[in-house]
Chains A and B, each alone.
Chain A
Amino acid sequence: MNSEKAIISQIKSLKDIKPDHDWVILNKARLLGSEALNVKRPAFSVLFDLMLQRRMVLAALVMLGALSGTVFAAQGSLPGEPLYAVKKATERGMAIAMGQNNDPAANLQLAAKRLEEIDLISQKNLVKNLPAAFYEYKTAKAAAKKEVAAKVKENPAKAGQIVKEAGVAIKNINDKEKQVYGVLGVDESASSTNNGIENASDKQIVESLVDYFKKGAVLSYEQASDLARVKKLYEDGKYGEAIDVYLSSSLNN
Protein backbone atom coordinates (compact mmCIF):
# COMPACT_ATOMS: atom_id res chain seq x y z
CA MET A 1 0.00 0.00 0.00
CA ASN A 2 2.68 2.48 1.00
CA SER A 3 4.99 2.16 -1.94
CA GLU A 4 8.03 4.42 -2.05
CA LYS A 5 6.42 6.34 -4.90
CA ALA A 6 3.22 6.88 -2.90
CA ILE A 7 5.16 8.06 0.13
CA ILE A 8 7.18 10.51 -1.96
CA SER A 9 3.96 11.78 -3.47
CA GLN A 10 2.56 12.33 0.03
CA ILE A 11 5.74 14.14 1.04
CA LYS A 12 5.38 16.40 -1.99
CA SER A 13 1.86 17.29 -0.91
CA LEU A 14 3.38 18.99 2.14
CA LYS A 15 4.47 21.70 -0.27
CA ASP A 16 0.96 23.07 0.12
CA ILE A 17 2.00 24.38 3.50
CA LYS A 18 2.48 28.11 3.01
CA PRO A 19 2.94 31.09 5.30
CA ASP A 20 0.20 33.72 5.64
CA HIS A 21 0.48 36.22 2.83
CA ASP A 22 0.07 39.20 5.18
CA TRP A 23 2.78 37.87 7.48
CA VAL A 24 5.16 37.49 4.52
CA ILE A 25 4.61 41.13 3.53
CA LEU A 26 4.79 42.48 7.07
CA ASN A 27 7.88 40.52 7.94
CA LYS A 28 9.63 41.80 4.83
CA ALA A 29 8.66 45.38 5.66
CA ARG A 30 9.94 44.95 9.22
CA LEU A 31 13.20 43.47 8.00
CA LEU A 32 14.04 45.66 5.02
CA GLY A 33 11.69 48.63 5.30
CA SER A 34 8.53 49.37 3.38
CA GLU A 35 10.45 50.37 0.24
CA ALA A 36 11.55 46.74 -0.17
CA LEU A 37 7.92 45.80 -0.81
CA ASN A 38 8.23 47.46 -4.17
CA VAL A 39 11.10 45.29 -5.39
CA LYS A 40 9.26 42.10 -6.15
CA ARG A 41 6.21 40.46 -4.74
CA PRO A 42 6.10 36.78 -3.83
CA ALA A 43 5.25 34.58 -6.77
CA PHE A 44 2.06 33.26 -5.21
CA SER A 45 0.86 36.81 -4.68
CA VAL A 46 1.46 37.61 -8.34
CA LEU A 47 -0.44 34.47 -9.29
CA PHE A 48 -3.26 35.56 -7.02
CA ASP A 49 -3.36 38.91 -8.79
CA LEU A 50 -3.41 37.17 -12.16
CA MET A 51 -6.36 35.16 -10.96
CA LEU A 52 -8.03 38.35 -9.90
CA GLN A 53 -7.86 39.57 -13.46
CA ARG A 54 -10.14 36.83 -14.56
CA ARG A 55 -13.59 38.23 -14.29
CA MET A 56 -15.30 34.90 -13.99
CA VAL A 57 -13.08 33.76 -11.14
CA LEU A 58 -13.64 37.03 -9.38
CA ALA A 59 -17.35 36.99 -9.86
CA ALA A 60 -17.40 33.47 -8.43
CA LEU A 61 -15.23 34.64 -5.54
CA VAL A 62 -17.56 37.50 -4.75
CA MET A 63 -20.63 35.28 -4.98
CA LEU A 64 -19.13 32.54 -2.84
CA GLY A 65 -17.78 35.01 -0.34
CA ALA A 66 -21.12 36.80 -0.10
CA LEU A 67 -22.91 33.49 0.46
CA SER A 68 -20.59 32.43 3.22
CA GLY A 69 -20.69 35.79 4.96
CA THR A 70 -16.92 36.08 4.73
CA VAL A 71 -17.14 39.09 2.47
CA PHE A 72 -19.39 40.88 4.94
CA ALA A 73 -17.09 40.05 7.81
CA ALA A 74 -14.07 41.22 5.79
CA GLN A 75 -15.39 44.73 5.17
CA GLY A 76 -14.23 45.99 8.53
CA SER A 77 -10.79 44.41 8.25
CA LEU A 78 -7.60 46.44 8.09
CA PRO A 79 -4.29 45.87 6.29
CA GLY A 80 -2.30 43.16 8.03
CA GLU A 81 -5.41 41.30 9.14
CA PRO A 82 -6.36 37.86 7.80
CA LEU A 83 -9.57 38.90 6.04
CA TYR A 84 -8.08 41.94 4.36
CA ALA A 85 -7.25 40.04 1.16
CA VAL A 86 -10.94 39.10 0.91
CA LYS A 87 -11.93 42.74 1.36
CA LYS A 88 -9.63 43.81 -1.47
CA ALA A 89 -10.75 41.00 -3.75
CA THR A 90 -14.36 42.00 -3.13
CA GLU A 91 -13.68 45.65 -3.92
CA ARG A 92 -11.90 44.69 -7.10
CA GLY A 93 -14.63 42.25 -8.07
CA MET A 94 -17.28 44.91 -7.54
CA ALA A 95 -15.26 47.44 -9.57
CA ILE A 96 -14.96 45.00 -12.47
CA ALA A 97 -18.62 44.06 -12.24
CA MET A 98 -19.57 47.75 -12.39
CA GLY A 99 -17.09 48.47 -15.19
CA GLN A 100 -15.10 50.80 -12.94
CA ASN A 101 -11.85 48.86 -12.89
CA ASN A 102 -10.06 51.48 -14.99
CA ASP A 103 -12.09 54.47 -13.86
CA PRO A 104 -9.84 57.17 -12.35
CA ALA A 105 -12.55 58.40 -9.96
CA ALA A 106 -13.26 54.90 -8.62
CA ASN A 107 -9.56 54.23 -8.19
CA LEU A 108 -9.06 57.54 -6.40
CA GLN A 109 -11.91 56.63 -4.07
CA LEU A 110 -10.13 53.38 -3.27
CA ALA A 111 -6.89 55.29 -2.57
CA ALA A 112 -8.81 57.60 -0.21
CA LYS A 113 -10.24 54.52 1.50
CA ARG A 114 -6.72 53.09 1.96
CA LEU A 115 -5.65 56.39 3.49
CA GLU A 116 -8.57 56.28 5.91
CA GLU A 117 -7.37 52.82 6.93
CA ILE A 118 -3.99 54.28 7.93
CA ASP A 119 -5.83 56.90 9.95
CA LEU A 120 -7.93 54.21 11.64
CA ILE A 121 -4.88 52.07 12.38
CA SER A 122 -3.19 55.13 13.85
CA GLN A 123 -6.22 55.84 16.06
CA LYS A 124 -6.32 52.24 17.24
CA ASN A 125 -2.55 52.30 17.78
CA LEU A 126 -2.08 49.10 15.75
CA VAL A 127 1.57 49.83 15.02
CA LYS A 128 2.30 46.40 13.54
CA ASN A 129 -0.32 46.97 10.83
CA LEU A 130 1.21 50.24 9.64
CA PRO A 131 3.78 48.91 7.12
CA ALA A 132 1.07 46.90 5.35
CA ALA A 133 -1.29 49.89 5.44
CA PHE A 134 1.32 52.21 3.92
CA TYR A 135 2.01 49.64 1.23
CA GLU A 136 -1.69 49.30 0.40
CA TYR A 137 -2.20 53.05 0.31
CA LYS A 138 0.80 53.84 -1.86
CA THR A 139 -0.11 51.01 -4.23
CA ALA A 140 -3.71 52.22 -4.51
CA LYS A 141 -2.66 55.84 -4.99
CA ALA A 142 -0.12 54.89 -7.67
CA ALA A 143 -2.77 52.78 -9.44
CA ALA A 144 -5.24 55.67 -9.34
CA LYS A 145 -2.71 58.14 -10.74
CA LYS A 146 -1.87 55.61 -13.44
CA GLU A 147 -5.52 55.48 -14.48
CA VAL A 148 -5.72 59.29 -14.57
CA ALA A 149 -2.55 59.42 -16.69
CA ALA A 150 -3.88 56.72 -19.03
CA LYS A 151 -7.16 58.57 -19.51
CA VAL A 152 -5.36 61.86 -20.15
CA LYS A 153 -3.10 60.17 -22.69
CA GLU A 154 -6.08 58.62 -24.45
CA ASN A 155 -7.95 61.94 -24.61
CA PRO A 156 -5.33 64.73 -24.88
CA ALA A 157 -7.99 67.17 -26.05
CA LYS A 158 -9.82 66.71 -22.74
CA ALA A 159 -6.74 66.73 -20.49
CA GLY A 160 -7.83 69.85 -18.62
CA GLN A 161 -11.32 68.54 -17.96
CA ILE A 162 -10.08 65.08 -16.90
CA VAL A 163 -7.54 66.49 -14.47
CA LYS A 164 -10.10 68.97 -13.19
CA GLU A 165 -12.52 66.13 -12.44
CA ALA A 166 -9.87 64.02 -10.76
CA GLY A 167 -8.24 67.06 -9.20
CA VAL A 168 -10.63 67.48 -6.30
CA ALA A 169 -10.09 63.90 -5.20
CA ILE A 170 -6.31 64.14 -5.67
CA LYS A 171 -6.18 67.36 -3.66
CA ASN A 172 -8.32 65.85 -0.89
CA ILE A 173 -6.06 62.81 -0.78
CA ASN A 174 -2.92 64.96 -0.67
CA ASP A 175 -4.34 67.13 2.13
CA LYS A 176 -5.45 64.13 4.14
CA GLU A 177 -2.10 62.43 3.52
CA LYS A 178 -0.25 65.41 4.96
CA GLN A 179 -2.52 65.38 7.99
CA VAL A 180 -2.21 61.61 8.61
CA TYR A 181 1.52 61.50 7.98
CA GLY A 182 1.93 64.52 10.23
CA VAL A 183 0.14 62.81 13.11
CA LEU A 184 2.31 59.72 12.66
CA GLY A 185 5.48 61.74 12.21
CA VAL A 186 6.19 59.96 8.94
CA ASP A 187 8.51 61.39 6.32
CA GLU A 188 6.65 60.99 3.03
CA SER A 189 9.81 60.23 1.13
CA ALA A 190 10.54 57.35 3.53
CA SER A 191 7.37 55.54 2.51
CA SER A 192 8.23 55.56 -1.14
CA THR A 193 6.49 52.34 -2.17
CA ASN A 194 5.35 52.62 -5.79
CA ASN A 195 6.77 56.13 -6.09
CA GLY A 196 8.27 55.11 -9.42
CA ILE A 197 4.86 54.32 -10.90
CA GLU A 198 3.29 57.38 -9.31
CA ASN A 199 6.07 59.61 -10.59
CA ALA A 200 5.79 58.28 -14.13
CA SER A 201 2.02 58.83 -14.02
CA ASP A 202 2.42 62.35 -12.67
CA LYS A 203 4.91 63.08 -15.47
CA GLN A 204 2.44 61.87 -18.08
CA ILE A 205 -0.36 63.98 -16.57
CA VAL A 206 1.74 67.17 -16.50
CA GLU A 207 3.02 66.59 -20.06
CA SER A 208 -0.54 66.23 -21.33
CA LEU A 209 -1.65 69.32 -19.42
CA VAL A 210 1.19 71.45 -20.80
CA ASP A 211 0.44 70.25 -24.36
CA TYR A 212 -3.24 70.87 -23.81
CA PHE A 213 -2.69 74.49 -22.78
CA LYS A 214 -0.10 75.08 -25.51
CA LYS A 215 -2.65 74.08 -28.15
CA GLY A 216 -5.60 75.59 -26.34
CA ALA A 217 -7.24 78.98 -26.24
CA VAL A 218 -5.47 82.25 -25.49
CA LEU A 219 -4.37 82.40 -21.88
CA SER A 220 -4.79 85.31 -19.52
CA TYR A 221 -1.66 86.84 -18.01
CA GLU A 222 -2.31 84.98 -14.74
CA GLN A 223 -2.87 81.67 -16.52
CA ALA A 224 0.29 82.11 -18.59
CA SER A 225 2.22 82.83 -15.41
CA ASP A 226 0.76 79.73 -13.70
CA LEU A 227 1.53 77.60 -16.73
CA ALA A 228 5.15 78.83 -16.62
CA ARG A 229 5.34 77.72 -12.96
CA VAL A 230 3.94 74.30 -13.86
CA LYS A 231 6.42 73.97 -16.74
CA LYS A 232 9.33 74.97 -14.51
CA LEU A 233 8.41 72.32 -11.93
CA TYR A 234 8.02 69.80 -14.75
CA GLU A 235 11.48 70.65 -16.08
CA ASP A 236 12.86 70.23 -12.56
CA GLY A 237 11.33 66.75 -12.39
CA LYS A 238 8.91 67.78 -9.64
CA TYR A 239 5.87 66.29 -11.32
CA GLY A 240 3.75 65.84 -8.19
CA GLU A 241 4.32 69.46 -7.18
CA ALA A 242 3.52 70.57 -10.73
CA ILE A 243 0.11 68.89 -10.44
CA ASP A 244 -0.48 70.49 -7.02
CA VAL A 245 0.33 73.92 -8.44
CA TYR A 246 -1.88 73.29 -11.44
CA LEU A 247 -4.82 72.22 -9.25
CA SER A 248 -4.66 75.36 -7.13
CA SER A 249 -3.93 77.70 -10.04
CA SER A 250 -6.05 79.80 -12.36
CA LEU A 251 -5.56 77.09 -15.03
CA ASN A 252 -7.90 74.78 -13.14
CA ASN A 253 -10.81 77.24 -12.99
Chain B
Amino acid sequence: MDKAKEKFSRIYDDCVEKIYRYVFLRVNSKELAQDLTSETFAKGWESYRQAPDNIEKPQAFLYKIAKNLVIDHYRRKNRTQTIPVELVQDYISDAREDIEQRAVLASDMEAVRKAMQTLNEDYQNAIIWRYMEEMSIKEVSHLLDRSEEATRVLLHRAIKDLRTKLS
Protein backbone atom coordinates (compact mmCIF):
# COMPACT_ATOMS: atom_id res chain seq x y z
CA MET B 1 0.00 0.00 0.00
CA ASP B 2 1.38 3.43 -0.88
CA LYS B 3 2.44 5.85 1.84
CA ALA B 4 -0.30 8.42 1.20
CA LYS B 5 -2.99 5.78 1.51
CA GLU B 6 -1.43 4.40 4.66
CA LYS B 7 -1.27 7.86 6.24
CA PHE B 8 -4.81 8.70 5.23
CA SER B 9 -5.93 5.36 6.62
CA ARG B 10 -4.61 6.47 10.02
CA ILE B 11 -6.26 9.86 9.64
CA TYR B 12 -9.51 8.04 8.94
CA ASP B 13 -9.15 5.96 12.10
CA ASP B 14 -8.38 9.04 14.19
CA CYS B 15 -11.13 11.25 12.80
CA VAL B 16 -14.05 9.12 11.64
CA GLU B 17 -15.88 9.11 14.98
CA LYS B 18 -15.47 12.86 15.44
CA ILE B 19 -16.58 13.74 11.95
CA TYR B 20 -19.54 11.35 12.13
CA ARG B 21 -20.58 12.76 15.50
CA TYR B 22 -20.33 16.33 14.26
CA VAL B 23 -22.39 15.57 11.15
CA PHE B 24 -24.93 13.51 13.09
CA LEU B 25 -25.50 16.35 15.54
CA ARG B 26 -26.00 18.75 12.68
CA VAL B 27 -28.32 16.66 10.50
CA ASN B 28 -30.14 14.40 12.99
CA SER B 29 -30.19 11.32 10.81
CA LYS B 30 -28.01 8.24 11.03
CA GLU B 31 -28.21 7.45 7.31
CA LEU B 32 -27.54 11.03 6.28
CA ALA B 33 -24.70 11.31 8.77
CA GLN B 34 -23.14 8.18 7.28
CA ASP B 35 -23.56 9.52 3.73
CA LEU B 36 -22.12 12.94 4.51
CA THR B 37 -19.28 11.46 6.56
CA SER B 38 -18.42 9.13 3.66
CA GLU B 39 -18.49 12.09 1.30
CA THR B 40 -16.29 14.10 3.67
CA PHE B 41 -13.61 11.41 3.67
CA ALA B 42 -13.94 10.81 -0.07
CA LYS B 43 -13.31 14.51 -0.73
CA GLY B 44 -10.58 14.59 1.90
CA TRP B 45 -8.83 11.59 0.36
CA GLU B 46 -9.08 13.10 -3.13
CA SER B 47 -7.30 16.26 -1.96
CA TYR B 48 -4.84 14.41 0.24
CA ARG B 49 -3.89 12.04 -2.56
CA GLN B 50 -3.08 14.92 -4.89
CA ALA B 51 -1.11 17.04 -2.43
CA PRO B 52 -0.58 15.52 1.03
CA ASP B 53 1.90 18.22 2.02
CA ASN B 54 -0.71 20.94 1.56
CA ILE B 55 -2.83 19.56 4.38
CA GLU B 56 -1.11 20.41 7.63
CA LYS B 57 -4.03 19.73 9.95
CA PRO B 58 -6.08 16.86 8.55
CA GLN B 59 -8.71 16.97 11.30
CA ALA B 60 -9.42 20.65 10.77
CA PHE B 61 -9.39 20.07 7.03
CA LEU B 62 -11.99 17.31 7.34
CA TYR B 63 -14.15 19.34 9.71
CA LYS B 64 -14.22 22.15 7.15
CA ILE B 65 -15.30 19.76 4.41
CA ALA B 66 -17.97 18.29 6.68
CA LYS B 67 -19.17 21.76 7.67
CA ASN B 68 -19.54 22.78 4.02
CA LEU B 69 -21.34 19.55 3.15
CA VAL B 70 -23.82 20.13 5.98
CA ILE B 71 -24.39 23.68 4.75
CA ASP B 72 -24.92 22.38 1.20
CA HIS B 73 -27.35 19.79 2.50
CA TYR B 74 -29.50 22.37 4.23
CA ARG B 75 -29.31 24.68 1.26
CA ARG B 76 -30.58 21.87 -0.95
CA LYS B 77 -33.20 20.57 1.41
CA ASN B 78 -33.90 23.73 3.37
CA ARG B 79 -35.13 21.74 6.31
CA THR B 80 -34.36 20.61 9.83
CA GLN B 81 -35.22 17.37 11.54
CA THR B 82 -35.80 16.26 15.08
CA ILE B 83 -34.68 13.03 16.55
CA PRO B 84 -36.66 10.78 18.91
CA VAL B 85 -35.18 9.97 22.29
CA GLU B 86 -35.07 6.23 21.45
CA LEU B 87 -32.77 6.97 18.54
CA VAL B 88 -30.36 8.89 20.73
CA GLN B 89 -30.43 5.96 23.13
CA ASP B 90 -29.28 3.68 20.32
CA TYR B 91 -26.11 5.68 20.02
CA ILE B 92 -25.11 5.67 23.64
CA SER B 93 -21.97 3.70 24.28
CA ASP B 94 -22.39 0.41 26.10
CA ALA B 95 -19.90 1.70 28.65
CA ARG B 96 -22.79 2.94 30.77
CA GLU B 97 -24.63 -0.25 31.30
CA ASP B 98 -26.98 0.68 34.08
CA ILE B 99 -30.37 1.00 32.45
CA GLU B 100 -31.67 3.71 34.71
CA GLN B 101 -28.51 5.75 34.32
CA ARG B 102 -28.69 5.34 30.57
CA ALA B 103 -32.29 6.49 30.49
CA VAL B 104 -31.46 9.62 32.47
CA LEU B 105 -28.44 10.26 30.30
CA ALA B 106 -30.45 9.78 27.13
CA SER B 107 -33.03 12.21 28.41
CA ASP B 108 -30.34 14.82 29.22
CA MET B 109 -28.66 14.22 25.90
CA GLU B 110 -31.90 14.64 24.04
CA ALA B 111 -32.75 17.85 25.91
CA VAL B 112 -29.40 19.44 25.22
CA ARG B 113 -29.35 18.17 21.67
CA LYS B 114 -32.79 19.54 20.90
CA ALA B 115 -31.89 22.87 22.43
CA MET B 116 -28.68 22.98 20.40
CA GLN B 117 -30.68 22.45 17.26
CA THR B 118 -32.45 25.72 17.78
CA LEU B 119 -29.19 27.67 17.93
CA ASN B 120 -27.70 29.30 14.89
CA GLU B 121 -25.10 27.43 12.87
CA ASP B 122 -22.02 29.16 14.31
CA TYR B 123 -23.23 28.65 17.88
CA GLN B 124 -23.79 24.94 17.20
CA ASN B 125 -20.37 24.52 15.60
CA ALA B 126 -18.61 26.44 18.36
CA ILE B 127 -20.29 24.40 21.11
CA ILE B 128 -19.62 21.06 19.42
CA TRP B 129 -15.97 21.78 18.75
CA ARG B 130 -15.09 23.56 21.98
CA TYR B 131 -17.12 21.73 24.61
CA MET B 132 -17.83 18.33 23.12
CA GLU B 133 -14.63 17.70 21.17
CA GLU B 134 -12.64 19.84 23.61
CA MET B 135 -10.67 21.66 20.94
CA SER B 136 -8.64 24.73 21.87
CA ILE B 137 -9.95 28.24 21.26
CA LYS B 138 -7.27 28.62 18.61
CA GLU B 139 -8.47 25.53 16.74
CA VAL B 140 -12.12 26.53 16.99
CA SER B 141 -11.36 30.05 15.82
CA HIS B 142 -9.51 28.61 12.84
CA LEU B 143 -12.50 26.45 11.91
CA LEU B 144 -14.91 29.34 12.35
CA ASP B 145 -12.68 31.77 10.45
CA ARG B 146 -12.80 34.21 13.35
CA SER B 147 -10.26 35.74 15.69
CA GLU B 148 -9.67 34.03 19.04
CA GLU B 149 -11.28 36.94 20.85
CA ALA B 150 -14.33 36.86 18.60
CA THR B 151 -14.56 33.09 19.15
CA ARG B 152 -14.52 33.55 22.95
CA VAL B 153 -17.36 36.06 22.70
CA LEU B 154 -19.27 33.76 20.36
CA LEU B 155 -18.88 30.83 22.75
CA HIS B 156 -20.04 32.89 25.68
CA ARG B 157 -23.13 33.95 23.78
CA ALA B 158 -23.74 30.42 22.51
CA ILE B 159 -23.73 28.92 26.00
CA LYS B 160 -25.89 31.76 27.31
CA ASP B 161 -28.38 31.17 24.52
CA LEU B 162 -28.35 27.41 25.11
CA ARG B 163 -28.87 27.91 28.83
CA THR B 164 -31.89 30.11 28.15
CA LYS B 165 -33.36 27.51 25.83
CA LEU B 166 -32.84 24.74 28.36
CA SER B 167 -34.45 26.59 31.24
Contacts and interface: CB of A to CB of B under 8 A. Distances in A.
Interface of A: 1-2, 4, 7-8, 10-19, 23-24, 27-28, 30-33, 35-36, 39-44
B91 A40 contact: no
Contacts of B108: 10, 13
A4 B25 contact: no
A40 B13 contact: yes
Nearest to B8: A32
Interface stretch (B33-41, B60-68, B70-78, B141-149): B33-41
B132 A16 contact: no
B105 interface: yes
A189 to B, nearest CB: 12
Interface of B: 1, 5-6, 8-10, 12-13, 16-17, 20-21, 24-25, 33-34, 37-38, 41-42, 45, 88, 91-93, 95-96, 105, 108-109, 111-113, 116, 127-128, 131-134, 159, 162-163, 166-167
A17 B112 CA distance: 13
Contact of A18 (B17, B34, B109): B17
Most A CB contacts (10 A, CB to CB) among B45, B93, B105, B131 go to: B131
B1 A18 contact: no
Contacts, number: 112
B16 A4 contact: no
B10 A10 contact: no
Given A10-B108, A19-B34, A39-B1, 14 more contacts: A1-B167, A7-B159, A8-B159, A14-B25, A16-B92, A17-B20, A17-B21, A17-B25, A17-B92, A23-B34, A27-B37, A28-B9, A31-B38, A40-B13
A2 B113 contact: no
B109 A27 contact: no
A42 B88 CA distance: 22
